[in-house]
A = this chain, B = another copy of it.
């Protein structure tokens, strides 16, 4: 069998776009498996780590929380993860995305209308400031 490629932390960082300090942080908090070390104490990664770290990065990019990432990884890593459980996490995440979209849509129309109302007025009261001054009707 082939001996796996030896990848130093800097190289792993370059390949995945993840900060070196962040890689060590991920290891500390259990998001990335602890790699073996050289006799001198340096971390030695393999292509599996490249994939796993890419997986983590991608999940974070897609807005999964670190807790969710940990949950997915605890299901056995990207390859063996139980489909239905991962799907459930993703579905939950999707719900939150949709809720956030609604919030933002409301906020968008409120802000847009208010800014619009303000426009042109050089006068007395400012609609935007009034908006902020209201107790809580947003």
A: residues with CB less than 8 A from B are 51, 54-55, 58-59, 61-63, 72, 78-79, 81, 83, 86-87, 90-91, 93-94, 97-98, 100-101, 104-105, 107-108, 110-112, 114-115, 118-119, 121-122, 126, 128-129, 131-136, 138
Asked if B119 and A87 make an inter-chain contact with CB atoms under 8 angstroms apart, the answer reads yes
Since A58-B138, A62-B131, A83-B129 are in contact, a sample of 7 more A-B pairs with Cβ atoms closer than 8 Å, ordered by chain A residue number, is A55-B132, A61-B136, A62-B132, A81-B129, A87-B118, A94-B111, A97-B104
Asked if A133 and B87 make an inter-chain contact with CB atoms under 8 angstroms apart, the answer reads no
Asked if B54 and A135 make an inter-chain contact with CB atoms under 8 angstroms apart, the answer reads yes
- Name A55's contact: one of B94, B110, B133 (CB within 8 Å): B133
